[in-house]
Amino acid sequence: MSSLALKDARMELKTSKRLKDMLNSAASLAGQDLTAFVLASAEDRAKLVLSEYQSLSLLHQEQIDFMAALTKPAKPTKALKELMSMESLVER
């Protein structure tokens, strides 16, 4: 996290003394104050979690099946044909 970033939001949290002491010790060893350590750690974890949900990992066969599904047009269903034959609301 950039130290030059505008800090315009506040967060408060409650924790156990044991966890706070652990975080303080780790922050000290990392050469950071508690706030910087907690925010950097939370940011790293948030990026990891978000990247897991924003990317798609497929096994080789799954990649082949996925590409086949994308490149082979699906046959329109009866319901789709009926829907497409209806007058468009936009073109009225």
pLDDT by residue (tens digit) across 38-91?
999 999 999 999 998 888 889 999 999 999 999 998 899 999 999 999 988 777
Whether pTM > 0.75 for this model: the answer is no
State both tokens at 34. 């508690």
User: Does 50 reside within a domain?
Assistant: yes
User: Does 4 reside within a domain?
Assistant: no
- Domain of 36, in residue numbers: 17-85
The DSSP string of 12-42 is -----HHHHHHHHHHHHHTT--HHHHHHHHH
Total number of domains in the chain: 1
User: Does 77 reside within a domain?
Assistant: yes
